[in-house]
Amino acid sequence: MAYIPPHKRHSATGNSPSPASPPASFSRRFNQSLSLDGPSHPRGRRPPSHQRCGIMDIAYAAQSTSLWCIAGGCPHPDNFRLEPYPCDAVELREGYRPLVLSVAGDPPSVESEEEELPPWAAIVKGIERDLLSSLINAKSELAPRIKMSFVARIGKVFFRGREPSSCLESVRRAAYSGSDIRGKVSKFFNTSLQNEHIQEFEQLEMAKLGFGFDFDSQKERYIVKLLNKTLAGSVITCKCKVAEGGSLEIYKIEQNRLRHLVVDVSCVSKDLDLRLMLYSTEVSKTLDDVGKDGIKRLVSNAVIDPNVKGGLRWSLGKDSVDGTFSIIEVCHVKYKNFKSQNMRINFRYADRIHHKTSFGEVSNEVFFKFPGVSQQLRDENFEPSSVLAVIQDAVKLIWIHFLGKNVGVEGEKCKEK
């Protein structure tokens, strides 16, 4: 046979790609792994009652309200500035630094307000109409298995945008609009604080509060969030504790969590911001017969492992049950509770991981719960003025003791809600 030079040889599979070219599927996956904006979602596919917030969808009630306002002074919108804020967790997920609101020059004094109201009173007065409307709407939806919760959180309001100028104008327009801002301003709330500030709050500020607050409990819990694939968008939250034998045991099931009111307050004269939120959950003390065995089996398959994010791991193929329930998020929580007659203060350390994205984070947080508001909602002789008074007293306490100077948000440990 005559010799054929290499450049003239023909392969029997001439249509196959060159070995140097990766398969199309591999190239597609490689390109996706370089995307810093997370997985894309087709427009129009998500129900209108859901908003994209970080790595999870947050469900809102049909008549919900989302507000953003400014407290601690009345700066002119022309003096607003949006500045990039270092936050590694958000940068890794979003691909850019979030933005925070600042005011050119010195923050205006509280006394500059026309009505000379203290900031805590101005906050409640500014949201009074929407707050009462949300409370009344929420009360109308109460059922024996529906639990209403009114809470407050401290942290930092983050605005989304790669360039400050791209969203500054919308922030200025929304500052004093007094209307629902969903779809007008893209923001989220970061609740992670530096560990030393948590200790300062717990040791110094709680001591200043005096005998009104008592130490309640110190606990360690695991929270497992499951997706019910048979009901689109249905998330089941299993709150678990460690049983005597070392296995995981479910002690509470919550589902169908809905937000009725979200108020984010940029406190320009303080170092931290404030969020007020009213939401409902359907609490089930006993699991439904259909999913009872499957959910229990899935949770019991968990292995407690302090060396992994979220503190729990599952063997291969054990993180879903019969194609019905699958794990979407795991959180290991350690917390201390202090309580008074109308308020509970929760200091907690949370280690989370989202299974779909493998995105994990650790955060130190302070939550404020108002069981008195929930109780009044169930009262047949519901008095709105009484609820407003309780909330104003709570906001005053938070403003004075938990938003003060030299308190910052840790850039490396950020968590949005």
pLDDT of residue 191: 92
pTM: 0.80
pLDDT band for position 287 (cuts 50, 70, 90): low
Q: Which residues contact 161 (CB under 8 A, 6 or more apart)?
A: 82, 99, 167, 186
What is the H or E stretch that residue 366 is in?
strand 359-369
Mean pLDDT of 139-145: 77
More confident call, 324 vs 81:
81
- For residue 195, give the 3-state DSSP assignment: helix
Lowest mean pLDDT of 128-142, 145-159, 362-376, name the range. 128-142
Is residue 331 within 8 A of residue 365, CB to CB? The reply is no
The answer, yes or no, to whether residue 221 has pLDDT greater than 90, is yes
DSSP string, 260-292: EEEEEEEETTSSSEEEEEEEEEEEESS--HHHH
- Strand ranges in 99-145 using DSSP code E only, listed in sequence order: 99-103
pLDDT digit string, tens, across residues 83-131:
888 888 778 878 888 899 988 866 555 444 445 789 999 999 988 999 8
- For residue 354, give the 3-state DSSP assignment: strand
pLDDT band for position 408 (cuts 50, 70, 90): very low
pLDDT digit string, tens, across residues 33-87:
222 233 333 333 333 354 444 445 578 888 888 888 888 877 788 888 898 888 8
| Closest to 252 in 3D by CA, of 299, 314, 312 | 299
87 burial type by CB count under 10 A (0-12 exposed, 13-18 middle, 19+ buried) = buried
Other beta carbons within 10 angstroms of residue 134's beta carbon come to: 24
Which domains, and CATH codes, for the chain? 62-402 (3.20.100.10)
The answer, yes or no, to whether residue 166 has pLDDT greater than 50, is yes
Is residue 30 within 8 A of residue 21, CB to CB? The reply is no
pLDDT band for position 4 (cuts 50, 70, 90): low
Amino acid at 23: P
361 burial type by CB count under 10 A (0-12 exposed, 13-18 middle, 19+ buried) = buried
Q: What percent of the chain has pLDDT over 70?
A: 76
